[in-house]
Amino acid sequence: MYLPLPTPEEMAGWDRLSIEEFGIPGTMLMENASRELLHVLHKEIGPLSGKRVVLFAGSGNNGGDAFALARHLVDHYATCLVLHTRELGSYTGDIAFHLALADKAGVAMSSLRDYNLDDLPLPDLIVDGLLGTGFTGELRQDYQNWISCINRLGQKAFVLAIDIPSGINGYTGEPCPMAVQADFTVTFAAAKVGLRMPEAKEFCGRLYIQGIGLPSRVQDDNPPSCYELNEDVFSLLPVSNHMAHKGSHGHVLILGGSSGLTGAPTLAALGALRAGAGLVTVGCPRGLISEVKQGWPDIMTKPLGPGSQWTEGCMADLADLQSFDAVVLGPGLGRTEGARDFLRAYIQSSPPPTVFDADALFALAQDKQSLQNLPLSSVLTPHPGEMARICQTSIDEIQARRMDMAKTWAEKLQCTLVLKGAGSMVAAPGESLRLCPEAWSHLAVGGSGDVLSGIIGTLLSQGLGTFPAACVGVFWHASTGRILQTKYPYRGNLAQDIAHTLPRVLEHFCKPS
C-alpha cells in the first residue's frame, strides 16, 4: 500500500469535507490533533511534569493546535508559555475556542511582537506552530527572526514541529529561505507531499503521521494526486517460473554509444542484466563494437551501418527490431545530426516498448515532431536539465514545479515520464504521481541514469506496462543507495556497482518464490 501524499489544498479539502459533509466539528479535529501531539511527546521525551515548554502559535490552525496542546501540557504539570503572533482578541472560530480553554486552564500567553526573545529562558521543549503546510513564498523578516530564535534555542532543547516545520514549502519541501530545524514533526492524517521531498528531510527530523479522525471515505472518494513509492512496488515484479528459459525473461536492445561515450550503453546493459533480463544486446555503429563490448561476455552486440557514426541508414540493420521485447535508446548516442536522423527513423518504425534516455532526449527536444509522435509504449527519463530543454524553460522553473511539470508533460506527450533527481517522480496519463523519497549521494555518479534506463528496459521486456515498469525501476535503482552507503561510507562507488547491487535489493525486500 503506497503512502498517500496530498497537496496542502487536497488536505484542506479533506478537512473541509469531514466538517461539512460528516458534521465533525473542527474543534474536535483540533482536539484530536493536540492529543496526538501529546502522545508523541510522551514517546519522545517521557514524563512532562516540570518541563519548561515554549509554544509558538501562528494565526492559522497550527496556532490552534498549539493552544490546545498547551492546555494538555499544563494538565501534565508542565510550565508553559504560548507566544502568539496575533492579538488574542483577533482569533476566531475553532482557534478562539481552544484559546479560551487554554486561558481557563491557566496557560501563560504573550504577544510575540511585544516579547523580548533575548529574555526567554532556555526551555526543555519548543513547539513550532507558526506556519502550516499552505505556506508558500518568502518568509517575512519577523518570521525569519522568530525561526532563528527557535533554531538557536533548539540547539539545547527539543523542537517539535506541528504538521510541518515553519518555513518549509508544503509542495516542494524547500526552505523559504530558512526553516525550523525540528527534532521531530507530527503531521496529521497523511504526510503532505512537501514533507517527503528530500529537501525537507533535514528540517523534519523524525516524522510521525498521526490520525485525527478524518473519515476514510473522504480520503477514498477524493484520492490525492501523489503517492509515495515503497517496497510494496516489488509486488509488481513478474513471478519467476523455475521452468523458465532465457527467452522467458525478456530480450532488451540497447541502442547507443558514440566516440568517447561507449561506456554508457554498456552500463545500461549491465543494469538490464542485473535486473534479470534473459538476453541483452547492444546495437551501435559497426566501428564501435569492440569498444562497447569491453570484455563483457554476457553482453551481445549488433553492428549497425558501415562506419563509426549514427545515420538514418543504421535502421537498415534493424529489420529484426520486432524480435526484441524492449529497447533502451539514447545512452551515449551522441548529439550529431546523424543521431537525430536515426532517432526520427526509429520512431517512425513502430518499435517495441522503448525507454528514451540521455542523448535521445536531447534529440527529441530539437525535433518537436518526433517528440509529439512518440511510440505508444514510451518512457522518458529526463533529469532536470533535460526536462528544461524539452519544456523550453529553466532548470529553476522545473525544480520549483516538479509535480506540475511531470504531470503536465506526461499528459501532453502521452507517455510515462520519470523526472529524475532527489525525489524522482513518475507520471503517466490518467495516473496519480508517484514520488520516490529515497535520495542517496552514492547514486550521483556518471552512468547512474544509464543503469536506471537498463532496469526499466528489462521490466518492459518482461511484460510490465510503462507506468509500473518505471515505478519499480525508479524505486529499485534508488534503493541501491541504502546498501552502497554501507559498503562505501565515503562514496567512491562506480555506476556499475549500482547495477551489481540490484540483486541484493531484492534479497532484502523480497522473499524467493
Among the candidates 225, 240, 268, a domain finishes at: 225
Distance CA(293)–CA(84), nearest Å, equals 67
- How far is C-alpha 172 from the geometric centre of its chain's CA atoms? 10
Query: Does 78 share its domain with 189?
Result: yes
Is the Cα dihedral 247, 250, 256, 261 positive or negative?
negative
The answer to whether the beta carbons of residues 283 and 257 sit under 8 Å apart is no
φ, ψ of residue 379 in degrees (nearest 5): -120, 125
Q: Which of 225, 252, 287 lies at the terminal end of a domain, its last residue?
A: 225
Contact 299, 328 (CB under 8 A): no
Where residue 218 sits, what CATH number does that domain have? 3.40.50.10260
Looking from the CA of 430 toward its CB, the CA atoms found within 13 Å total 4
**Whole-number Å distance between alpha carbons of 67 and 99:** 5
CA 274 to CA 142: how far, in whole Å? Answer: 54
> What phi, psi does 175 have (nearest 5°)?
-70, 150
- 142 and 170 in a single domain? The answer is yes
**Adjacent-strand bridge partners of 302:** 283
Mean pLDDT for each 10-residue chunk of the chain (513 residues)?
94 98 98 99 97 98 98 98 97 98 98 93 98 94 98 98 98 96 98 95 97 97 97 90 65 97 97 98 96 89 96 97 98 98 97 99 97 97 98 96 97 98 96 95 97 99 98 98 95 97 93 61
Q: How far apart are CA 366 and CA 363, in angstroms?
A: 5
Query: Is the CB of residue 95 less than 8 Å from the CB of residue 63?
Result: yes
Q: Are 376 and 354 in contact (CB under 8 A)?
A: no
Instruction: Tell me, yes or no, whether 168 and 300 share the same domain.
Output: no
**Helices (H) and strands (E) in the chain — how many of each?**
18, 18
- 297 and 322 in a single domain? The answer is yes
| Nearest alpha carbon to residue 207 among 186, 179, 176 | 186
Looking at the structure, do residues 359 and 295 belong to the same domain, yes or no? yes
**Enclosing domain of residue 360:** 231-509
What distances in angstroms separate CA 408 from CA 49, 150, 195, 436, 471, one per listed residue? 52, 39, 22, 18, 18
pLDDT at 243: 45
187 and 330 belong to one structural domain: no
| Whole-number Å distance between alpha carbons of 338 and 36 | 62
Rounded CA gap, 339 and 363, in Å?
Answer: 8
Domain co-membership, 12 together with 148: yes
User: Is the Cα torsion angle 110, 112, 116, 122 positive or negative in sign?
Assistant: positive
Q: Note whether 484 and 253 are within 8 A (CB).
A: no
- Dihedral sign, CA of 492, 495, 497, 503? positive
On whether the CB atoms of residues 181 and 168 are closer than 8 A, the answer is no
Regarding whether 260 and 184 lie in a shared domain, the answer is no
- Do residue 197 and residue 251 come from a single domain? no
Q: Are residues 438 and 376 in the same domain?
A: yes
Please tell me the total count of domains within the chain.
Answer: 2
Question: Coil, strand, or helix at residue 333?
Answer: coil
* pLDDT value at residue 511: 67
Enter the C-alpha cell of residue 412: 501532453
Q: Name the 3-class secondary structure at 417.
A: strand
Instruction: Supply the CATH number for residue 270's domain.
Output: 3.40.1190.20
Size (the chain), residues: 513
Residues 179 and 108 in one domain: yes
d(CA 246, CA 394) in angstroms, rounded, equals 44
* Cβ pair 33, 15 in contact under 8 A: no
**CA nearest neighbour of 181 among 149, 151, 144, 152:** 151
Which residue from 376, 435, 383, 387 is spatially nearest to 409, judged by alpha carbons? 387
For residue 4, the cross-strand partners are: 227
Residues 243 and 210 in one domain: no
